[in-house]
């Protein structure tokens, strides 16, 4: 089959590779019908996530048709059209039982690697390096899905791929980011980053009752989308300091909560000093927390900071004093996608939201390498790319 | 830290005043950190001492061969001692039952190729050594407390001197069962040393931790999470 494979930083290629096969009784094999490129993939593309190996298949946002089932999967049939959460979860462990699906105890075969870095291992992820399990991703013609009986969501025929594809990750991610803000009537939510995750965080903050949402980025078309699609007020951080602007816009109180939808490759005031020791011992590049630093200072007293943006390692000069002295609450983590599949599918079915509005580019899997370049450099006003095999 | 092992670890006189029953009870009742209490003593010594006179074992007091003495002198005669604990979302009874059939162990213990149960007490173990080699030994169950503890030790003269126990303790509230494995492999020096040293690869702690994790996966999900056999990562 054809698959988009990582060969090094800024080097991805469509290779011919053997088809995946069932390895465990709870597995399924899907024939991919649609798959997307995520901001998280850019962290791999840019070489910021360690433990990738040349030839690894990328992609964690995908859906398709079941073509093969392991003997223990009884609740799905061949031919079912399904979406797949990017977090792999067993449904049986203590974490899964508490709905902390992205923290599943049992889905990472390389848990020892994650333990060395993080003390304990979270769930395995599709196409997201060997620390997170080394599972082949779904930017391919076929993919193997472990614990298929627990993760898959069957999609009604009347919905198109584009309407439901983002249930795999970015819609739930934006939604959980907003939910973590614990929004109360009258609240102002500030969202750093207007990529796809930021866009859904903005939409979801309104769905959850925010009075105002203020979106921060520097890319004009992304700010425009936040304004036109969701009704957000916008700040271009290259034109004005977001901290000061937010203070003025909120009557001097500051936002009630802030969302970091930027993550470890924030653009901005440049890299701070590198932690050579950390790099040596865990071979991690230092994360760039420019947005997070701004957020901790800009957030109002008693506020909540919600971090869907991915961090992998060690960060420098985090103004923890700002967080401490304002009594901030910090919430973060990979999304517990399984929790949101059904409720968000309902929102889509009722017409509250059509997530396909973030799509700017539709391409063939063969052109994925070009897609990565376009998405990375935000060429052609690119916001979200959907690939079809 | 006043642990049960530090009790066991006291001078001979006090040790003799403890009954075997009390000693086992203290292991089963269990502190959090077993090996820390052991300090320099061998696990085997402790386990077999408290197993009482019913079994004669080739202990630390026996005469050492010349190679062993040389190995001692250059400091390579080190035993592998590992202690790992995992919490499993199943009852102690279910976990004990699966483990008690030693023939199940190779399912999740990568370093063990096969175990053949000979009788209620004795089993024959075959482990994978580097370069397609195997090492074999016989072991006896030296204590068996249903749903609580299984302790074993290789028999006298076995080529691989090892001992260990697995303990099942209910975790608080709805958190399942805490499963603790404590194992010791003694390096005898001489021929098999290199093979045993490599039994667990470079990181015995990690290997045994992984084996315990696979046990958890198997018990909780019915399978062991893997990517082995997928054409590409
Ligand atoms: N938590 C999860 O489970 C989860 C899931 C999906 C994605 N993510 C992460 O969310 C983040 C965003 O994903 P995306 O797909 O929207 O990526 P993206 O790269 O398309 O968007 C990031 C946006 O942040 C903007 N930005 C950069 N620096 C900024 C700064 N200093 N201040 C304000 N904005 C800034 C960029 O211009 C860009 O528009 C990534 O880190 C991604 O890995 C997390
Ligand atoms: Zn994603
Ligand atoms: Zn789980």
Q: Whose CA is nearest to atom 24 of ligand 1?
A: A193
pLDDT band at B201, cuts 50/70/90?
Answer: low
* Interface check B221 vs A, CB under 8 A: yes
Q: What is the CATH number of domain A2-169+335-388?
A: 3.90.180.10
Residue A136 touches chain B, beta carbons under 8 Å = yes
Ligand nearest to the CA of A310: 1
pLDDT at B180: 95
Q: Give the ligand with the smallest distance to the CA of A241.
A: 1
What does the pLDDT look like over B55-98, one tens digit per residue?
333 333 334 444 454 444 444 456 778 899 999 999 999 999 99
CA distance B40 to chain A (A): 27
Structure tokens at B111: 């370093």
Residue B193 has pLDDT above 70, yes or no: no
Q: Report CB contact under 8 Å: A134, B233.
A: yes
Which pLDDT value is given to residue A328? Answer: 98
Predicted pLDDT at B66: 44
- Report yes or no: B233 at the A interface, CB cutoff 8 Å: yes
Buried b / exposed e over A102-127, threshold 16 CB at 10 Å, is: bbbbbbbbbbbbbbebeeebbbbbbb
Flag whether the ipTM exceeds 0.90. Answer: yes
Report residue B37's pLDDT band, with 50, 70 and 90 as the boundaries: low
Please tell me the predicted confidence (pLDDT) of residue A130. 96
Contacts of B82 in chain A (CB under 8 A): none
Residue pair A328/A297 in contact by the 8 Å Cβ criterion: no
Distance CA B19, CA B50 (A): 8
Residues in chain B: 233
Nearest residue (by CA) to ligand 1, atom 25, is: A193
Q: Are A83 and A153 in contact (CB under 8 A)?
A: yes
Query: Given this structure, which CATH class describes domain A171-332?
Result: alpha beta
Which of ligand 1's atoms lies nearest the C-alpha of A170? 6
What pLDDT sits at residue A111? 96
Q: Above 70 in pLDDT, residue B137?
A: yes
Residue B53: how many CB atoms within 10 A of its CB? 7
Best of A55, A94, A108 to substitute, by most chain B Cβ atoms within 10 angstroms, is A94
- Residue ranges of E strands in chain A: 2-8, 11-16, 28-37, 56-57, 61-69, 81-83, 87-88, 124-125, 142-145, 153-154, 188-192, 212-217, 233-236, 257-260, 304-307, 329-332, 361-364, 385-388
For B122-128, the CB contacts below 8 A with 24+ separation are B122/B155, B123/B152, B125/B154, B125/B160, B127/B160, B127/B199, B128/B199
For residue B69, what pLDDT is reported? 47
Residue B162: pLDDT band (50, 70, 90) is: confident
For residues B167 and B145, what is the distance between their CA atoms, to the nearest angstrom?
A: 9
Minimal C-alpha gap between A78 and chain B (Å): 21
Which segments in chain A show pLDDT lower than 50? Answer: 269-281, 283, 285
Across residues B190-216, what is the average pLDDT? 75
**Is the pLDDT at B4 greater than 80, yes or no?**
no
- Mean pLDDT across chain A: 94
On whether any CB of chain A is under 8 Å from the CB of B172, the answer is no
Closest partner residue to B232 (CB to CB) among A24, A57, A146 is A57
The residues of chain A that CATH labels 3.90.180.10 are 2-169+335-388
Q: Regarding predicted confidence, which is higher, A344 or B192? A: A344
Question: What is the average pLDDT value for chain B, to the nearest integer?
Answer: 77
Which pLDDT does position B185 carry in this prediction? Answer: 83
Q: A318 vs A68, A155, A259, CA distance in Å?
A: 48, 43, 16
Of A289, A307, A363, A341, nearest in space to A85 by CA: A341
Res B101 pLDDT > 50: yes
Question: For residues B46, B52, B53 and B59, what is the CA-based torsion angle, rounded to 10 degrees?
Answer: -10
Q: What is the location of CATH 3.40.50.720 in chain A?
A: 171-332
């Amino acid at each position: 089959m054809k698959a988009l494979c990582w060969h090094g930083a800024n080097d991805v290629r469509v290779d011919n590779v053997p088809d995946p096969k069932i390895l465990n009784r709870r597995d399924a094999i899907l024939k991919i019908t649609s798959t997307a490129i995520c901001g998280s993939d850019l962290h791999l593309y840019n070489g910021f996530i360690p433990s990738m190996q040349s030839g690894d298949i990328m992609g964690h946002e995908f859906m398709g048709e079941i073509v093969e089932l392991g003997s223990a999967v009884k609740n799905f049939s061949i031919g079912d059209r399904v979406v797949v959460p990017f977090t792999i979860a067993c449904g049986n462990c203590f974490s899964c039982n508490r709905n902390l699906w992205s923290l599943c105890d049992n889905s990472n075969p390389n848990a020892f690697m994650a333990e060395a870095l993080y003390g304990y291992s979270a769930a395995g992820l599709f196409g997201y390096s060997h620390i997170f399990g080394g599972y082949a991703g779904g930017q391919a013609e076929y993919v193997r899905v472990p614990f298929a009986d627990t993760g898959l969501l069957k999609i009604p025929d009347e919905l198109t791929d584009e309407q439901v594809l983002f249930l795999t990750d970015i819609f739930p991610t934006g939604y959980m980011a907003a939910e973590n803000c614990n929004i109360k009537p009258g609240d102002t939510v500030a969202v750093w980053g207007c990529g796809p995750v930021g866009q859904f965080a903005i939409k979801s903050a309104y769905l959850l009752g925010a009075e105002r949402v203020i979106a921060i980025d520097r890319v004009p078309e992304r700010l425009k989308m936040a304004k036109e699609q969701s009704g957000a007020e916008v700040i271009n951080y290259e034109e004005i300091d977001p901290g000061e602007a937010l203070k003025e816009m909120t009557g001097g109180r500051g936002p009630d909560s802030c969302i970091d939808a930027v993550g470890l490759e924030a653009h901005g005031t440049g890299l701070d000093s590198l932690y050579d020791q950390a790099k040596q011992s865990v071979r991690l590049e230092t994360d760039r927390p420019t947005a997070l630093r701004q957020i901790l200072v800009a957030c109002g007293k008693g506020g909540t900071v919600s971090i869907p943006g991915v961090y992998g390692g060690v960060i420098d000069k985090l103004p923890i004093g700002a967080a401490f002295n304002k009594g901030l609450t910090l919430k973060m983590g990979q999304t517990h996608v399984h929790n949101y599949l059904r409720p968000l599918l309902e929102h889509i079915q009722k017409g509250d939201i059509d997530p396909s509005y973030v799509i700017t580019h539709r391409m063939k899997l063969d052109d994925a390498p070009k897609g990565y370049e376009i998405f990375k450099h935000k060429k052609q006003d690119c916001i979200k790319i959907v690939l079809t095999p | 830290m006043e642990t049960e092992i530090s009790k066991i670890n006291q001078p001979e006189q006090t040790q003799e005043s403890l009954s075997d029953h009390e000693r086992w009870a203290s292991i089963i009742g269990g502190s959090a950190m077993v090996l820390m209490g052991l300090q320099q003593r061998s696990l085997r010594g402790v386990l077999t001492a408290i197993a009482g006179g019913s079994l004669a074992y080739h202990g630390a007091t026996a005469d050492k061969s010349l190679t062993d003495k040389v190995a001692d002198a250059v400091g390579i005669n080190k035993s592998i001692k590992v202690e790992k604990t995992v919490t499993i979302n199943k009852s102690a009874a279910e976990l004990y039952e699966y483990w008690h059939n030693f023939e199940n162990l190779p399912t999740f213990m990568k370093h063990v190729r096969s175990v053949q149960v000979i009788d209620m007490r004795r089993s024959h173990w075959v482990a994978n050594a580097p370069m397609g080699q195997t090492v074999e030994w016989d072991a006896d169950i030296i204590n068996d407390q249903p749903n609580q503890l299984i302790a074993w030790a290789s028999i006298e003269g076995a080529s691989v001197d090892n001992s260990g126990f697995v303990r099942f303790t209910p975790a608080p509230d709805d958190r399942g069962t805490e499963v603790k494995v404590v194992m010791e492999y003694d390096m005898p020096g001489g021929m098999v040393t290199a093979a045993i040293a490599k039994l667990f690869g470079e990181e015995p702690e990690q290997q045994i931790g992984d084996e315990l994790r696979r046990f958890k996966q198997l018990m909780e999900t019915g399978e062991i999470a893997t990517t082995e056999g997928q054409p590409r990562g």
